[in-house]
Amino acid sequence: MALKGKVFIVTGGSRGIGREIVKALAEGGAKVSFTYQTQEAPAKALVGECGEGKVAAFKADVRDYEKAKEVVEETVRRFGRLDGVVNNAGIVRDRSLMMMEPADFRDVVETNLFGTFNFSRAAITRLMKQKNGDILNIASVAGMVGRPGQTNYAASKAGIIGFTKALAKEVGRFNVRVNAIAPGFIETEMTQALNEKVKQEILSGIPLGRFGEPKEVAQLAAFLLGGDRYITGQVFCLDGGMVMA
């Protein structure tokens, strides 16, 4: 029961990978605040499923640093402490570069990368002062190998990987661990939107021959957050073998 009594914030927790991470942490005995931006009904349903005393939902745009500070402060007020942050919130705006509008690039980078900065920055001083804590960032294999039509998304996720490694070196002496999970193709709304031909092309490049499940990402997240692990500055690919260094 390594998660019991701990308190975490998960950004973008109302659906997909974020939702499963919230559930896994709560089931492990942690208390969790999570953010959502537009998915109010799924957010309320998740609170009801996990229990209001264990999980709290906050409507927040992760691009807003002041709002990030409010979520951190309210989480501590409500649950008494903070042990870590999972930066999961992210969006895609896929287009070839020649067709990509500046807003498509800006929105993705500001949500994915600046959102990671905002919540990490809002929490890091508290974690350093208590000399214990975790920052876990959800990156992507796209940030390691790139994908056509995803210059904005790949740039944001590559930035998260660099951010993870740099911050881990800054705060390791305070016993604050900073790691990242880089999922491959996971069964979410994004992959469900792919046509069958594209799915088969992708699957042909995955040694395990299937897409991953959000629950599998959540299990790894719960492991990394579930104790004073001797692990920091690492990027864990969860991709069925698609990317092998």
Q: Please identify every residue annotated as catalytic.
A: 153
- Nearest Cα neighbor of 162 from 56, 76, 233, 220 is 233
H/E run at residue 59: strand 55-59
Q: How many Å apart are CA 4 and CA 1, to the nearest integer?
A: 5
Structure tokens at 230: 């001797």
Q: How many Å apart are CA 156 and CA 138, to the nearest integer?
A: 11
- The terminus-to-terminus CA distance of the chain in angstroms comes to 33
Q: Are 25 and 10 spatial neighbours (Cβ–Cβ below 8 Å)?
A: yes
Query: Please, what is the angle between helix 151-171 and helix 115-129, to 10°?
Result: 10
- Alpha-carbon dihedral sign for residues 139, 233, 66, 78: positive
